[in-house]
Amino acid sequence: MTTISREADGCFHPTTEEELCALVAEANAQKKQLRVMGSTHSVWRAIVTDNFNGAQTPSNEMPVVLDRYVKIFEPKPDPSNPDGKLVEVQGGCHLGISPKRPVQGRIDPVPAVSDVPQPSPWHDGTWDASLTTALQNLGLALPDLGGISHQTVAGFLSTGSAGGTVKWSVHEAIAALRVIDGQGNAKTLTADGEDPDWFRAAGVGLGLCGVVSTVTFKCVPTFDIVGQEASSAAMMSPDFDFYANRPSANLPSLEKFIIETDYTRIMWWPQYNFDRLVTWQASRSVFDPNRVIKPYEEVGRFSVVKQFAISFIYTVMAYAEDPAEARKQLTLLAQQAKVKSPGALNTLKDFKLRPSHATLTAPTEPQGCLQGVIDLLTRVKRDPVTMGDAWVRFIELLSTGTDDLVEMLDKLPFFDWLLKEIGKAIPDHIDELYQLFITTQKDGGPVTQYFEDRGYMGLPMDNQMDDLILPTWFTELWVPFTPGDGKVQDTITRLKKYFDADKTPEGAYKATGAFAFEMYAGKKDERFFLSPATGQHVFRVDAFWFGKNPEDPVKTFFPPLWKVLDPLGFRAHWGKFQPPPGSVKPSMISRYPEAARWKAVRARVDPNNVFLTQYWKQQLEL
């Protein structure tokens, strides 16, 4: 049987299914642990072996990376849809672009054995090699995509990920899975085949019901999207009655809006005296080769510079009481922003936003920028409709004009004092700070941008965000609902009460934190046992956390939110931060009606626990 060797990064990189089967068979025979890593887009401990440490990984653990297992096979006719095609793809293929990290990002709340600053197993996935681009070139598409398309095909499915619609589902588009069991045997699975339970278990299998070798998708004709994004005060949303208290506005309820809109995503900034919504929505449109493309801009012009600006602000806010650590973190941020890689800042050049190789041009007039940031940080009120170029120029100067940010900050004698003043002022003045980035009219009325794009490019609207410059951790809570049962509105009511806290700026800031909350819907799933949307539509709430913060959100920020929404029976996204075992009742796995069937399949296809890690053993009560 074919065998391959461990490489310098401590991982195995198979190129064929035969090699994949051989690796699993070896792990089974020698009682080793094996885990497959894709784009490492999930919580780190959910992906890796128990003691992964790059080149120092113990010999009884076999980390596998599928960066050379990315083939897309020729389309075949789809008997169920004459307009579509069946397309089989290897599990390591990325859905879209997957920027390579120079080092593994910190994706654990506390330093751990697996939290290593070594060359990352996250591998490069270009637009040209992605599944969505290949399908587009064939006139095909997947019916839905998540807000990011960095993930590998197998990783996206294995965690139960989904996009923002109740009209379509990637899970419904899966015609077949080819899966390798814990003894190294490959088998093709279908919903109505000879082992339907294994199909239903492996579709959202968390890497525990076999290695997903290939996926066959039922692809639809490609389509465009046409949409808009409105930023407004929550009480002035032009799209829906967010708090269900504006009957005279004649607007749909939030539930009606998310059900009837083709694709949508809502960002809620509930901070004290701010309370803004940013509502992204899009409709499918017939593919038009002559369409004038107007891409959605998530943070507008100078995207990477503004992300650096936001990260700079959040870092200052996080370390306001520790100027020395603030200098250290800001210097690290500047170094990361200089790294030349897709999605990172390299003096604002060669930033690949799209397959067309669009580039950004830096502003050339840094004069006056320092005064601009001093004005900002000392809370000078500005017109909320405009974001002054002074701030952008200051950030550009920091990121491209100096090699030593610490030296620069040391030349600012007021820096230590200013940090402490900022720390005191943040709760009371956070609205003034955020108005520079969340643009509305002066009275909070909506400001709207319009966009038209290809579906595969426009649906993953968060691809523009950089994981190193602006690292974002989150817990994603899927609240099951049936149209008309009131649970969507109940979710907002419960969160609003929690965010208001004791009605003081300090109490509200403790509850809301400094980041946004993302909300969007998902279609009910009748196919896979551990899909968080099993049996019902879901309303998802993502609580964001700035990854450079010194605290552990699993111990501080997330638990109160879990408690607030627990009465609604949420299920947490498998690839994001979950409530620790024993912290919620019933446990997360007990919230799945078919959990026992999933566990039975897992035990049958992996009798020697080749794929089982300590993390999953605890989370799933195995």
227-254 pLDDT, tens digit each: 999 999 999 999 999 999 999 999 999 9
Residue 2 has what pLDDT? Answer: 64
pLDDT at 85 over 80: yes
Q: Where are the alpha helices (DSSP H) in 449-533?
A: 455-458, 487-500, 505-512
Residue 16 has what pLDDT? Answer: 97
pLDDT bracket for residue 351 (50, 70, 90)? very low
Rounded distance between C-alpha atoms, residue 619 and residue 610, angstroms: 17
| C-alpha distance from residue 281 to each of 4, 188, 246, 260, 528 (Å) | 47, 37, 21, 11, 28
Q: Quick one: average pLDDT of 500-523?
A: 94
pLDDT bracket for residue 89 (50, 70, 90)? very high
Residue 229 has what pLDDT? Answer: 95
> Where is average pLDDT lowest: 88-102, 296-310, 361-375, 590-604?
361-375
pLDDT bracket for residue 477 (50, 70, 90)? very high
Residue 368 has what pLDDT? Answer: 34
pLDDT at 571 over 90: yes
> Where is average pLDDT lowest: 123-137, 339-353, 554-568?
339-353
pLDDT bracket for residue 23 (50, 70, 90)? very high
Task: Write the DSSP symbol of residue 72.
Answer: B
Residue 396 has what pLDDT? Answer: 44
pLDDT bracket for residue 127 (50, 70, 90)? confident
Residue 84 has what pLDDT? Answer: 94
pLDDT at 355 over 70: no
Residue 1 has what pLDDT? Answer: 58
136-184 pLDDT, tens digit each: 999 999 999 998 888 999 999 999 999 999 999 999 999 999 999 999 9
Rounded distance between C-alpha atoms, residue 73 and residue 87, angstroms: 6
- From the CB of residue 577, how many other CB atoms can be counted at a distance below 10 Å? 25
Residue 337 has what pLDDT? Answer: 57
Rounded distance between C-alpha atoms, residue 139 and residue 3, angstroms: 38
What are the structural domains, with CATH classification, of the chain?
17-221+593-619 (3.30.465.10), 223-297+442-590 (3.30.70.2520), 303-431 (no CATH)
Residue 27 has what pLDDT? Answer: 97
Rounded distance between C-alpha atoms, residue 507 and residue 316, angstroms: 20
Highest mean pLDDT among 55-59, 265-269, 312-316: 265-269
Report yes or no: 285 and 226 within 8 Å, Cβ to Cβ.
yes
Rounded distance between C-alpha atoms, residue 166 and residue 158, angstroms: 20
> Where is average pLDDT lowest: 87-91, 253-257, 369-373, 407-411?
369-373
Between 505-512 and 415-434, two packed helices, what is the crossing angle to 10 degrees?
80
Q: In this predicted model, which residue has the larger pLDDT, 329 or 375?
A: 329
pLDDT bracket for residue 312 (50, 70, 90)? confident
pLDDT bracket for residue 300 (50, 70, 90)? low
> Where is average pLDDT lowest: 109-118, 160-169, 177-186, 368-377?
368-377
120, amino acid identity: S
Q: In this predicted model, which residue has the larger pLDDT, 527 or 550?
A: 527
Rounded distance between C-alpha atoms, residue 236 and residue 617, angstroms: 47
Task: Write the DSSP symbol of residue 291.
Answer: -
pLDDT at 470 over 90: no
Rounded distance between C-alpha atoms, residue 330 and residue 311, angstroms: 9
pTM score of the predicted model: 0.86
391-437 pLDDT, tens digit each: 344 444 444 443 455 555 555 555 676 677 667 777 777 777 777 67
Q: Quick one: average pLDDT of 10-21?
A: 96
Rounded distance between C-alpha atoms, residue 273 and residue 282, angstroms: 29
What is the share, in percent, of the chain residues with pLDDT greater than 90? 61
pLDDT at 505 over 50: yes
78, amino acid identity: D
Residue 611 has what pLDDT? Answer: 98
528, amino acid identity: F
Residue 468 has what pLDDT? Answer: 67
